[in-house]
Amino acid sequence: MVKKLFKIFKIILSLFIIWLGIHSLYIIIDGVADSGQKADLAVILGSKVNENGTLSERLQKRLETGIDLYKNRRIKIFW
């Protein structure tokens, strides 16, 4: 009885891990893909601003991407 329950548990756990892997892969592929669509608004989420007032590298890249999208008329405004 215990062996059978353990086997069922392993199967369920294996299916969950497979589902998690497929789901994660889908999110990664979707996040990297560029649909080329235009948008009315882009929200640039914040990140760390260093104590000396300079932007963190991550925030700097986000803002540069937002500016590029604006210059290429892919977004009307960003905030």
Task: Give the count of alpha carbons within 13 A of 6, CB side only.
Answer: 3
| pLDDT (0 to 100) of residue 21 | 97
Q: pLDDT tens for residues 43-63?
A: 998 888 999 999 999 999 999
**Nearest CA to 44 among 58, 30, 33, 25?**
58
Which ranges constitute the DSSP H helices of the chain? Answer: 2-32, 57-71
What predicted TM-score, i.e. pTM, was given to this entire model? 0.57
Three-class DSSP category at 75 = strand
Question: In the chain, what are the domain boundaries?
Answer: 1-33, 36-79
Quote the tokens at residue 20: 């998690």
| pLDDT (0 to 100) of residue 7 | 96
